[in-house]
Amino acid sequence: LFLSPSTFEVRMLPVEMTDRLIVGSRFSITPLLPYLYGSMHYFLLAVSANSAHFIEVQDGEMEGKEIPNMPHSVAEAWAGTEHEEESQTLHSTGNGSVSSSGHANAKDAKEVEHKVYLQKIEKSLHTFLREQQLPLIFVGVQEMFGVYRSLDTSGRLLEQYIHGSPEHLEAEEILSKADPIIREEAAKRIDRYIEDYGNLSGTGRTSTDLALILDAAAIG
């Protein structure tokens, strides 16, 4: 809560903080900095063969988002597409008997179905993710994640993902697993910024003067 003769503002935080009262000539935001740099604003892509959901998460609140042309299941991805059933192929063993490769064909067909499904999801999300510039966490089984990671071109997909079928995970469980992933990514980002600052220090491209920094930020 921020209170002054001309201001009354209340802001919700995604974590519980120790109660404190600070009186001074300006607002104190120092205790908030660890939470501000680790902004809990990101996207989740929860995918299984039977469902696909794109979710925005901000400060612990989840909101499903509808993305144009994004399929929500393997069946929907293949709807309207001619898709011949894989038939069993019989091979002679040379001794008058035959062996079936139907299982192998069925496995290959399933992999193709899933790849096309994930390709369509990635294509539908590409532009949106590039514009939003927020991290994306994948929720799904290892096989699905591996294929999607190989297809991703947005640059927003994180290397860490939430393992398990989203159909068997509660929302609270997903958030509890996503939270440390996002915080770790934020910490890595800060480390990169500090390293960049160190490399540029003394070149005239850095400053510790807040007025100069704000002016530079204002003009991009």
pLDDT in tens, 89-139: 334 444 444 444 455 587 788 899 999 999 999 999 999 999 988 999 999
**pLDDT in the model for residue 15:** 67
Amino acid in position 169: L
pLDDT of residue 99: 45
Cα distance between residue 106 and residue 116, in whole Å: 15
For the whole model, what pTM was predicted?
0.70
Encode pLDDT of 4-59 as tens digits.
999 999 887 766 778 899 999 999 888 777 665 556 789 999 999 999 999 999 87
Residue burial 88-104, b: 16+ Cβ < 10 Å; e: rest: eeeeeeeeeeeeeeeee
The phi-psi region of residue 68 (left if phi > 0; otherwise alpha if psi is between -120 and 50; otherwise beta) is beta
* Helix ranges (DSSP H) in 21-67: 33-37
| C-alpha–C-alpha distance, residues 149 and 188, integer Å | 20
Percent of the chain whose pLDDT exceeds 70: 85
What pLDDT is stored for residue 85 in this prediction? Answer: 43
What mean pLDDT do residues 205-217 have?
91
Residue 160 near residue 182, CB atoms below 8 Å: no
Question: In terms of DSSP bridges, do strands 136-140 and 98-100 run parallel, antiparallel, or are they unpaired?
Answer: unpaired
Q: Are strands 90-92 and 98-100 parallel, antiparallel or unpaired?
A: antiparallel
pLDDT > 70? residue 171: yes
- Three-state DSSP at 13 gives coil
Q: What is the mean predicted confidence (pLDDT) over 151-179?
A: 94
Average pLDDT over residues 191-209: 92
What are the distances in angstroms from CA 61 to CA 14, 35, 45?
Answer: 9, 16, 15
Which pLDDT band, with edges at 50, 70 and 90, does 174 fall under?
A: very high
User: Which CA distances in Å does 172 have to 125, 126, 190?
Assistant: 24, 27, 27
